[in-house]
Amino acid sequence: MKLTTFSDYTLRVLMFLALNRERLATIPEMAAAYDISENHLMKVVHQLARSGVIESVRGKGGGVRLAHAPEDIRLGEVVRVSEGAAPIVECLADDVSHCRIAPACRLTAILVGAFDAMYARLDEYTLADLVRAPRKLEALLVRRDVSLN
């Protein structure tokens, strides 16, 4: 199993915001810290704001911040939202499956169980668990030539 890049960036944004709770953070700042695309982060931030995990403040001096305490943000919930509702295999899609072995296949149930177990494990952790060693993380995320508003 592999999480999408979108989920990876989603978790990175949340970690950055958890480390910088005292102020608003900007997309350019986070993109520079992680050396990743601002365009990708704009999509991530938009989805996080729509889902209510972060708050977005527009205008001069604007940016984003966590909408909840890190202890209240469950990793499983975040990953479920970022991964979306796409079926993990074709035979779980709403439309008619074209798989010839679907009526006798046991793989579907096994894969569903595996994904359920992964999400259950992620639900045991919060964003606070990811930032328990803030000094190490902060040292690695030194701002790179990005002016703070």
Does 148 map to a domain? no
The pLDDT of residue 48 is 97
CATH, residue 127: 1.10.10.10
The pLDDT of residue 149 is 46
Does 116 map to a domain? yes
Structural domain total, the chain: 1
Does 146 map to a domain? no
Task: Kindly give, in sequence order, each residue whose CB lies less than 8 Å from that of residue 56, ignoring residues fewer than 6 positions away.
Answer: 45, 49, 62, 63, 64
The pLDDT of residue 134 is 84
The pLDDT of residue 82 is 93
Does 93 map to a domain? yes
- Positions in the chain whose pLDDT score sits under 50: 145, 148-149
Does 149 map to a domain? no
Q: Can you give the residue range of the structural domain that contains 122? A: 5-140
The pLDDT of residue 109 is 87
